[in-house]
């Protein structure tokens, strides 16, 4: 259940925007040898972002609260639990579920469904979670 509308300027990310974030995540992981990506991701996970989402001004929000998800939800529920479920489901469907945002009415993927989250564009940092000195 949603508690109200999204902040001004925020909208659900398109399937193409999500696909771009997946590719950028992979590139960042390779460029930083994975270690830099993990450190960066740990530092910003509490803002509902990953490194690629931060660069693309996207954010993961709870479907029930419409606010950025916590570090625990990003890492444990969305990362580990949903990642396990998604890994199994994606393998079982021969990769077809990777394209789920293209037919889902809310542009959600399997791990969004499991963790009850949405990915939204946040071009104006509506939740004010970016550090001010950066």
| % pLDDT > 70, the chain | 93
Measured CA to CA, the distance from residue 118 to residue 60 in angstroms comes to 6
| % pLDDT > 90, the chain | 66
**pLDDT for the residue numbered 131:** 60
**∠ CA(21), CA(23), CA(29), 5° rounding?**
100
The residue behind tokens 């969004």 is 112
**pLDDT for the residue numbered 4:** 67
- Confidence tier at 75 by pLDDT (50, 70, 90): confident
Q: Considering the entire predicted model, what is its pTM? A: 0.86
Report whether pLDDT(117) > 90. Answer: yes
Best CA proximity match to 23, nearest among 31, 111, 91, 42: 31
Average pLDDT over residues 12-33: 95
- Confidence tier at 17 by pLDDT (50, 70, 90): very high
Q: Each residue of 46-77: b (16+ CB within 10 Å) or e?
A: bbbbbbbbbebbbbbbbbeebebbeeebbbeb
Instruction: Classify residue 88 as exposed, middle or buried by CB count within 10 Å of its CB (0-12, 13-18, 19+).
Output: exposed
Average pLDDT over residues 65-78: 90
- Confidence tier at 83 by pLDDT (50, 70, 90): confident
Report whether pLDDT(16) > 60. Answer: yes
Structure token digits, residue 124:
């104006």
């Amino acid at each position: 259940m949603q508690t109200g509308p999204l902040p001004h300027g925020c909208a659900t990310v398109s399937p193409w925007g999500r696909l771009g974030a997946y590719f950028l995540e992979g590139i960042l992981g390779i460029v930083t040898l994975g270690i830099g990506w993990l450190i960066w991701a740990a530092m910003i996970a509490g803002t509902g972002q990953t490194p690629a989402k931060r660069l693309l001004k996207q954010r993961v929000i709870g479907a029930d609260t419409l606010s950025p998800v916590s570090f625990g939800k990003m890492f444990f529920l969305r990362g580990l639990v949903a990642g396990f479920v998604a890994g199994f489901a994606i393998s079982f469907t021969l990769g077809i579920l990777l394209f789920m945002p293209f037919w889902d009415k809310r542009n959600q993927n399997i791990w969004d469904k499991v963790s009850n989250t949405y990915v939204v564009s946040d071009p104006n940092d509506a939740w004010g979670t970016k550090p001010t000195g950066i």
